[in-house]
């Protein structure tokens, strides 16, 4: 419940501070006195957007602050989810700066308007005559039915499951699209992979093949050069090896005469050994040389195959081709994994579909079972509000579609008079009838769910006399379990309140201000008498006002 409201520098209000109590509070005042200003200020606290026109003094900031007692609202999860300090006496403050910027605070923590709007849903429901049209909204109609059917828990389960189901369906569509794209590419990728696999590529193979190709392609030149080198090295009497041996023998004769000669002997001996080894290696190379045109052709073909593959895949090495081969293998393997993932996800979706259908069936049956209860309660209340022949025909039909609150569609049919056919509520009910139906609905809902503070803004327009008295009694009955405010022009309703506030204008110099005052008993008698007879209060009006209050 709201316990206090303070307003500074807003519209016609310079400064106002008022405390509220439990029960049924009445707000009255002449047209234009500022009742809408009070509601506008309260709307800002509840998260509505503001502009500079809200400021009375454009040089100063506007501050609106409301205190709420929320211990019975079970709002701790909301505060924890939004990282806010939880206080049973929660303070909401809204500031509008001269620059036009707006700031909002919950228990002195800055918040955005969305958070404020979400919290306000649990705190205050401002209901005006224009909002009676909400009764024509299917979502509102379902909320009424579901409150009586006690469907809240099942609907919450359904909504959680539906969110997961939709996420899975979305993911499945992505996988199916990816699978479709992959299937188109699979045949080509398979061809590319088979081409690479059949090439039997090995890392470093290209360099070896190129070296072998050079040898086989130039075998005659190589053999001629090796043979010539061997001849120079080993030819008798004039070969390099014989000459080296002769030098070695000569140096052996003088090596003992000087360390220098001995050093030269060691060096020529080393050269002789190395040259002898070179000669042997040349012999081995010569023996290995074979003129093999077939092998040369095979190597040439393999190199050409490698070059063609490199050109096709726009790479320069065999290692890069092997990397592409691995990627193609993984891509084709992924298609198989994709099929498995699609199969598993489809199975999960099927299970969730079964669970959703089961929940929606329970919700549907509960709704159907609650229709007679709602109809009887509505008729019982509306008969006392001057609608003795009212009838309702509420049709709830199951569909194949998954909606946010189940699989049902609803038709709220209504007839106000005998002999008239049923029609859709939004088409056949008048404004006054809609107001009374909405009041009846709120009264019924108060029995089944914990509604926030309710503010009825002139929903009594178009009624009077005994009907107005009954409307006031209904609001007073509702106020035993919740906080009720009624902004009214009807003395019959005003007399039912436990507290009575008057909105009026005052003039200070050239300045006009709106004020809000809690009336005492005598002031209240005068106010109700004025509502009955006008500015000039007669004795009969005073007596009538006292009678109404009693």
- Answer whether residue 147 is part of any domain: no
The 8-class DSSP code of residue 134 comes to G
Bridge partners (DSSP) listed for residue 391: 415
My answer on whether 102 and 189 are in the same domain is no
What pLDDT, on a 0 to 100 scale, did the predictor assign at position 232? 76
Claim to verify: residue 116 and residue 20 sit in the same structural domain: yes
- Say if residues 155 and 143 touch (Cβ distance below 8 Å): no
**Structural domains counted in the chain:** 2
Question: How much is the pLDDT for 448?
Answer: 82
Strand, coil or helix: what is 58?
coil
Q: Are 435 and 468 in contact (CB under 8 A)?
A: no
Q: Is residue 402 part of a domain?
A: no
Let me know whether 117 and 214 are in one domain.
Answer: no
Please state, in angstroms and rounded to a whole number, the distance separating the CA atoms of residues 399 and 474: 37
Indicate the residue among 291, 317, 337 that finishes a domain: 337
Going by DSSP bridges, is the β-strand pair 453-457/13-19 parallel, antiparallel, or unpaired? unpaired
* One domain, residues 80 and 3: yes
Q: What is the pLDDT of residue 4?
A: 94
pLDDT at 292: 67
471: which residues sit within 8 A by CB, 6+ positions away?
Answer: 385, 436, 439, 460, 463, 492, 493
Residues of the chain with pLDDT under 50: none
Q: Show which of 277, 312, 337 is a domain's final residue.
A: 337
Neighbours of 363 (CB within 10 A): 25
* Alpha carbon separation from 231 to 252, 283, 418 (Å, rounded): 27, 11, 134
d(CA 264, CA 247): 10
pLDDT of residue 367: 95
- By three-state DSSP, how is residue 393 classified? strand
Query: The domain that contains 24 carries what CATH number?
Result: 3.40.50.300
Residues 204 and 314 occupy one common structural domain: yes
The structure's pTM equals 0.66
DSSP designation for 421: P
Q: Is residue 148 part of a domain?
A: no
Q: Out of 293, 315, 337, pick the residue that ends a domain.
A: 337
pLDDT at 131: 65
Are 189 and 106 within one domain? no
Q: What is the pLDDT of residue 238?
A: 67
The answer to whether residue 493 is domain-embedded is yes
Residue-range definition of the domain harbouring residue 209: 178-337
Going 350 to 351 to 355 to 356, the CA torsion angle's sign is negative
319 and 214 in one domain?
yes
160 backbone dihedrals φ, ψ, rounded to 5°:
-65, -45
CA 36 to CA 38: how far, in whole Å? 5
- 187 lies in the same domain as 331: yes
């Amino acid at each position: 419940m709201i316990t206090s409201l303070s307003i500074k520098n807003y519209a016609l209000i310079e400064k106002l501070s008022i405390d509220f109590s439990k029960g049924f509070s009445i707000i009255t005042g002449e047209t234009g006195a500022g009742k809408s200003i009070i509601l506008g200020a309260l709307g800002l606290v509840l998260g509505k957007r503001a502009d500079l026109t809200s400021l009375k003094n454009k040089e100063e900031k506007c501050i609106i602050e409301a205190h709420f007692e929320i211990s019975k609202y079970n709002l701790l999860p909301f505060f924890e989810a939004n990282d806010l300090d939880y206080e049973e006496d929660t303070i909401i403050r809204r500031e509008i700066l001269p620059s036009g910027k707006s700031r909002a605070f919950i228990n002195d923590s800055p918040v955005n308007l969305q958070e404020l709007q979400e919290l306000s849903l649990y705190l205050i429901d401002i209901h005006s005559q224009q909002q009676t049209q909400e009764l024509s909204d299917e979502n509102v109609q379902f909320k009424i039915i579901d409150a009586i059917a006690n469907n809240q828990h099942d609907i919450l389960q359904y909504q959680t499951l539906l969110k997961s189901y939709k996420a899975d369906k979305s993911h499945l569509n992505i996988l199916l699209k990816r699978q479709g794209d992959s299937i188109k590419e699979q045949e080509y990728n398979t061809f590319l992979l088979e081409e690479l696999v059949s090439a039997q590529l090995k890392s470093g193979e290209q360099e070896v093949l190129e070296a072998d190709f050079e040898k086989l392609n130039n075998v005659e030149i190589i053999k001629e050069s090796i043979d010539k080198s061997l001849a120079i090295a080993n030819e008798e009497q004039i070969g390099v090896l014989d000459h080296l041996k002769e030098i070695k023998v000569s140096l052996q004769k003088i090596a003992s005469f000087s360390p220098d000669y001995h050093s030269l002997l060691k060096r020529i001996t080393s050269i002789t050994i190395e040259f002898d080894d070179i000669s042997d290696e040349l012999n081995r190379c010569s023996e290995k040389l074979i003129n093999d045109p077939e092998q040369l052709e095979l190597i040439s073909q393999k190199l050409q195959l490698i070059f063609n593959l490199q050109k096709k895949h726009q790479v320069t090495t065999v290692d890069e081709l092997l990397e592409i081969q691995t990627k193609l293998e993984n891509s084709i393997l992924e298609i198989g994994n994709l099929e498995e993932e699609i199969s598993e996800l489809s199975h999960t979706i099927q299970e969730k579909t079964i669970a959703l259908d089961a929940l929606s069936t329970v919700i549907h049956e509960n709704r159907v079972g609650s229709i007679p209860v709602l109809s009887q309660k509505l008729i019982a209340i509306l008969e006392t509000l001057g609608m003795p022949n009212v009838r309702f025909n509420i049709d709830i039909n199951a569909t194949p579609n998954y909606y946010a609150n189940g699989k049902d569609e609803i038709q709220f049919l209504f007839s106000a008079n005998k002999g008239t056919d049923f029609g859709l509520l939004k088409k056949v009910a008048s404004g006054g009838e809609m107001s009374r139906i909405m009041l009846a609905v709120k009264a019924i809902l108060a029995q089944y769910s914990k509604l926030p503070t309710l503010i009825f803004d002139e929903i009594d327009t178009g009624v009077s006399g005994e009907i107005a008295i009954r409307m006031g009694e209904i609001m007073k009955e509702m106020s035993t379990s919740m906080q009720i405010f009624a902004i009214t022009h009807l003395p019959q309703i005003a007399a039912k309140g436990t507290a009575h506030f008057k909105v009026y204008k005052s003039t200070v110099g050239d300045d006009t201000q709106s004020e809000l005052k809690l009336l005492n008993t005598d002031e209240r008698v005068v106010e109700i008498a004025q509502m009955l007879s006008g500015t000039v209060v007669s004795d009969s009006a005073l007596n009538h006002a006292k009678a109404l209050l009693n």
